[in-house]
Amino acid sequence: MKTKTKIEIMKDVPIPPKRQRGRPPGSKYPFDRLEVGESFYVSGAKVKPASMASITSRQNRMLVPKKFTTRVTPKGTTIWRVE
């Protein structure tokens, strides 16, 4: 036979702050500091080109109206601010 669990209803219990999951907001790359025409290079040994393209795409959405583009070379990825 199953026993019923008693659940106590409480009032005035403060809600704790949300815990941050994953990386803190922002980027470890200097997207927000780039001026139009400036660029930075990321070694392919540190980050896969597809990952860097994904990060750049996300920054394009987060930092409107700034726009960035990437180009892959045999040794890594370079990111430019174009707008």
Q: What is the mean pLDDT of residues 21-41?
A: 84
Banded model confidence at residue 7, pLDDT cuts 50, 70, 90: confident
What percent of the chain clears pLDDT 70, i.e. is strictly above it? 90
Q: What is the mean pLDDT of residues 57-83?
A: 92
Banded model confidence at residue 18, pLDDT cuts 50, 70, 90: confident
pLDDT over 70 (residue 26): no
The residue to which tokens 């026993």 are assigned: 3
What percent of the chain clears pLDDT 90, i.e. is strictly above it? 55
* 65: number of Cβ within 10 Å: 6
Give me the DSSP letters along 7-76: ----SSPPPPPPPP-SSPSS-SS-GGGPPTT-EEEEETTTS-HHHHHHHHHHHHHHTTT--EEEEEETTE
pLDDT score recorded for residue 46: 81
- Residue 81 and residue 83: Cα distance in Å, rounded? 6
- Residue 48 and residue 74: Cα distance in Å, rounded? 11
